[in-house]
Amino acid sequence: GENVEQHPSTLSVQEGDSAVIKCTYSDSASNYFPWYKQELGKRPQLIIDIRSNVGEKKDQRIAVTLNKTAKHFSLHITETQPEDSAVYFCAARGVTGGGNKLTFGTGTQLKVEL
Amino acid sequence: DSGVTQTPKHLITATGQRVTLRCSPRSGDLSVYWYQQSLDQGLQFLIQYYNGEERAKGNILERFSAQQFPDLHSELNLSSLELGDSALYFCASSPLETFSYEQYFGPGTRLTVT
């Protein structure tokens, strides 16, 4: 089945700096890659996603890039703010076995320091 | 608020017991997903239902079962509970199975097995 690896597990940046989180996936047929933000004790919130036929997608301060050849995708947050502090999860949608199954990475704890 | 509702918010029970978690998807969504989130396992996909039928299965234990009812709400049944079943259980929903891959998570049910 699909396997998703995520790095780093923790990331500390100064307010205003950029943050980059990287994920790799194993199933070359995977076709959808969402990113979720989860604050402590809250639900995962979908913040941005990308499909396999697109190389990059931006939404204000966040962007996601996808390299299908290398099977990796990244989340970029620019001009970080304290409210960006949370755990971020990447995921990949596998196509084998039917359904709409997402395999998640292990998460990145982002801390934005003042 | 994602529009996905889950009850109860918290559940404390003893080993060997059985519990039922309930989820109502967003209005119009046909697919329901169940995920388990524990500290050492991250977000693990359990099972997906689409319009009442099971569509995909993850690492769901035989002690666990789920169903989706005609009104599209879903229940996750956990039996013969063990200490290791303590976790956050999330339900997510999405509109269709094809072309709409986005999954929106509910607030979760925190299960504590003592």
pLDDT in tens, B32-69: 999 999 977 789 999 999 999 999 999 899 999 999 99
| Interval B110-114 mean pLDDT | 97
Residue B8 · residue B110 · CB < 8 Å: no
The answer, for B31 touching chain A at a CB cutoff of 8 Å, is yes
Residue B72 binned pLDDT confidence (cut-offs 50, 70, 90): very high
Spatial distance between the Cα atoms of A59 and A49, rounded to a whole number of angstroms: 10
Neighbours of B110 (CB within 10 A): 16
Query: How does pLDDT run across A82-92, given as a tens digit for each residue?
Result: 999 999 999 99
Does B12 have pLDDT greater than 80? yes
Neighbour count for residue B90 (Cβ, 10 Å): 25
Q: Strand A10-14 to strand A108-113: parallel, antiparallel, or no bridges (unpaired)? A: parallel
Answer whether A89 sits within 8 Å of B33, measured CB to CB: no
Contact residues, chain A, for B56 at CB < 8 Å: 97-101
What are the angstrom distances between the C-alpha of B80 and each of A103, B67, B76, B84, B112? Answer: 27, 18, 14, 11, 13
Q: Of how many residues is chain A composed? A: 114
